[in-house]
Structure 1
Amino acid sequence: MPNFSIKDVPEDLAEALRARAARNHRSLQGELMAIITEAAQPASSDGPVRHPQLQGWRRGSRTIEDVAAELRAKHPQPMRRGPLGVDIIREDRDSR
């Protein structure tokens, strides 16, 4: 797989990318891959990139709001006595 390198990135731009990565719960490398993946999609495409080597980078690209909405739909009523939150998250993670 090829490597890319961008030289002489202004510090303010690099810091903005680091902040964006943190907001999206990604590493800087993961954030850059997500940006490149989105930019590489054809303008008329509504779906994800189908390139097999890029599919792994698409995992983890959901926002915390997406995850929370999915879990709220799955568990609409608050649980009075049930599994711990960590158990729900593990079950959801392991179901993928």
Structure 2
Amino acid sequence: MPQLLVRNLQEETVESLKQRAKANHRSLQAELALILEDAAKVQSVSFWKHSASIREQLARSKKSFSDSTELIREDRDR
């Protein structure tokens, strides 16, 4: 499994994380892994919600967009 190394944290931050881990009956490593996994999920969910919002706005705008297939092919052939 991949590993991360975080350098130069404030002592207060480390102590706070240790206390949080203890309160949740987890090791510091397990607590940090959970925090990072949750943060990554939130970012992913936020991205997809934003993407859906843009698609809805475009659909409501009633604008028509030309097919870009030919432009992409021309660009690829350069």
> Which TM-score tier does this pair reach, normalised by the shorter chain?
0.5 to 0.7
Report the TM-score when normalising by structure 2.
0.52
- Give me the identity figure in percent: 43
Q: CA deviation at 1:43?
A: 2.2
Gaps of 5+ in 2: 47-78
Alpha-carbon distance in structure 2 between the residues aligned to 1:31 and 1:37: 10
TM-score, length basis structure 1 = 0.43
Q: How does 1:1-40 map to 2 (within 5 A)?
A: 1-40=1-40
1:43 to 42, 45, 55: 45
How far apart, in 1, do the equivalents of 2:3 and 2:22 lie? 23
Question: Radius of gyration: which is bigger?
Answer: 2
Determine helix, strand or coil for the equivalent of 1:37: helix
Aligned length in residues: 44
- Residue ranges of structure 1 left out of the alignment (5+ in a row): 45-96
Q: Relative contact order, CA 8 A, sep 6+: which one is greater? A: 1
| Structure 1 runs, 4 residues or longer, greater than 4 Å off | none
Structure (1 or 2) with the greater helix fraction: 2
